[in-house]
């Protein structure tokens, strides 16, 4: 029995069976332009991602600064209240001890 499949066109005309490399060499300028534009596009996407990352980091920085200020205020309030309570003690020993711990002069 003979094969009923038609012979491929590449077998009929070897000039049409150029591979990818041969086609690339034939249209070298187009491929160079394509790869250059692809590189520019990828760099642009990366730059955009970095831009948004910087924006997020700036927001995080401002939030951390606000939190740090709130904690510093809270710490100062606690310290002030402790010193006030200690000053109410008649001997003054506790107040002097706290001032020593806090690094304050009388």
Average pLDDT of the chain, as a whole number? 83
Domain interval for residue 74: 27-102
Kindly tell me if the per-residue pLDDT of 30 is higher than 50: yes
- Burial of 82 by CB count in 10 Å (0-12 exposed, 13-18 middle, 19+ buried)? middle
Decide if 38 is inside a domain. Answer: yes
- Determine, yes or no, domain membership for 2: no
Is 96 contained in some domain?
A: yes
Domain-embedded: residue 15: no
Q: Quote the pTM value.
A: 0.54
pLDDT(49) > 60: yes
Distances (CA, A) of 62 to 51, 66, 72, 74: 17, 6, 15, 18
Q: Does 10 map to a domain?
A: no
Output the CA–CA distances (angstroms, integers) from residue 87 to 16, 31, 82, in the order listed. 100, 83, 9
- Number of structural domains found in the chain: 1
Position 20 in a domain: no
How far is 80 from 71, CA to CA, in rounded Å? 14
Mean pLDDT for 36-48 is: 96
Whether residue 74 lies inside any domain: the answer is yes
In a domain, 5, yes or no: no
């Amino acid at each position: 029995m003979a094969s009923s499949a038609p012979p491929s066109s590449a077998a009929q005309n070897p000039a049409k069976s150029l591979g990818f490399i041969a086609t690339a060499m034939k249209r070298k300028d187009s491929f160079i332009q394509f790869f250059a534009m692809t590189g520019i596009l990828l760099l642009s996407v990366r730059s955009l991602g970095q831009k948004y990352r910087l924006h997020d980091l700036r927001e995080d920085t401002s939030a951390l600064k606000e939190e740090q200020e709130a904690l510093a205020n809270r710490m100062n309030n606690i310290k002030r209240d402790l010193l006030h309570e200690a000053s109410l003690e008649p001997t003054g020993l506790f107040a002097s001890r706290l001032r020593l711990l806090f690094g304050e002069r009388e």
